[in-house]
Amino acid sequence: MSPRVLLAVVCLVAGVMLAAWSLASGHLLLALAGFGLIFIFLFLAMEAMSKAGKPKHGIKPAAETAWSIRDQPPGGPGGPRDGEPR
């Protein structure tokens, strides 16, 4: 586990426990601190999800671009030829 994941889990557990205890005993300021920890967890989770959606390696360009082959007639290797059904 990375340190950021461990920090997120600790923020979630501590935030829920602190908010629940302080709301039950009537301490509003501690409840706000608990909700703050929960929001920190949400921020860390959203940040991890946005990083997971990005590719780690760059996309390689094609060996033969579409602009260079657009003027070629159809019927290249594996393509339809005159008189053949599509």
Give the pLDDT of residue 52: 84
Give the pLDDT of residue 74: 65
If one counts every other C-beta atom within 10 angstroms of the C-beta of residue 31, the result is 18
Give the pLDDT of residue 40: 96
Please tell me the least confidently modeled range out of 21-25, 49-53, 66-70.
66-70
Cα separations (Å) of 59 from 11, 30, 51? 36, 48, 17
Q: What is the DSSP letter of 72?
A: S
Instruction: Tell me: pLDDT of 63 over 80.
Output: no
